[in-house]
Amino acid sequence: MTGWRAFLGKELREIRRTWRAWVIPGLVALFAVTGPPIARWTRELLSSMVGDQASAIPLPDPTYVAAYQQWTKNLGQIVLFAVIVTLGGSVSGERRSGTATLVLTKPVSRAAFVLAKIAANTVFVAASVIGGALLTWVVTRLLFSEAPVGPLAGATAAWLLVGGLFVSLLVLASAALDSAAGASGLGFAAYLVLAIASAWGPLARWTPAGLLSAPDRIAGGTDAALLWPILTGFVLVGVLAVAAVAVFRRREL
């Protein structure tokens, strides 16, 4: 792939210099800092809002599990939605601005162009989330008597595969569609399909749909059979990347 390393460096520098460098890391840091305190003082927050009626609401004693599950809930919804929105124009935006035409007149292949985008954005999302997980662990350790690393690391790792899958999907959608909103809409539709599929046992056991609810189960200490969801998840990431290259090769610049 001609120009792969050069274009990967360009993508990483571009991410660092644009608004994307603040959105996802900012959201992740916010949830990492606020999630454990919310889990720790949920009862007090409810009491301040509803008064004596809070005693009628059965709540378990706060533990590190609640803090970890608050983290995975935010990852699985708001952070994933932010990834979908920010990557909707990852390819189509450069086609419209003429940047892709300018770059591809140089010795950079279309495959390198697309795969560098997937790799750079995957690294960016992974670095943001891993940093957030470390911050979550620190805050949880300060607020609770224990904060084991294993459940948090496992839950975060399971989400990272989901995040990588959606990065590849959004780059494919952006390569196929001219509209950033359309590509993001396709990403939300895929999320809805996976969420529905994850509720059906066979699909949850044998396909990447099982990864969607896996972080919450792992954080809660529940056994999760994830061998096939992980294997099929990696296969699907590869298929989406190959499809993105094939689609972009057929598009006019």
How far, in Å, CA of 236 to CA of 74, rounded? 24
Q: Which of 71-75, 100-104, 176-180, 236-240 has the lowest mean pLDDT?
A: 100-104
| Mean pLDDT of all residues belonging to the chain | 87
Q: What distance, in Å, lies between the first and last C-alpha atoms of the chain?
A: 19
pLDDT in tens, 101-139: 666 666 668 888 889 999 999 999 999 999 999 999 999
> Which of the four pLDDT bands, split at 50, 70 and 90, describes residue 232?
very high
Cα-to-chain-centroid distance, residue 126: 8
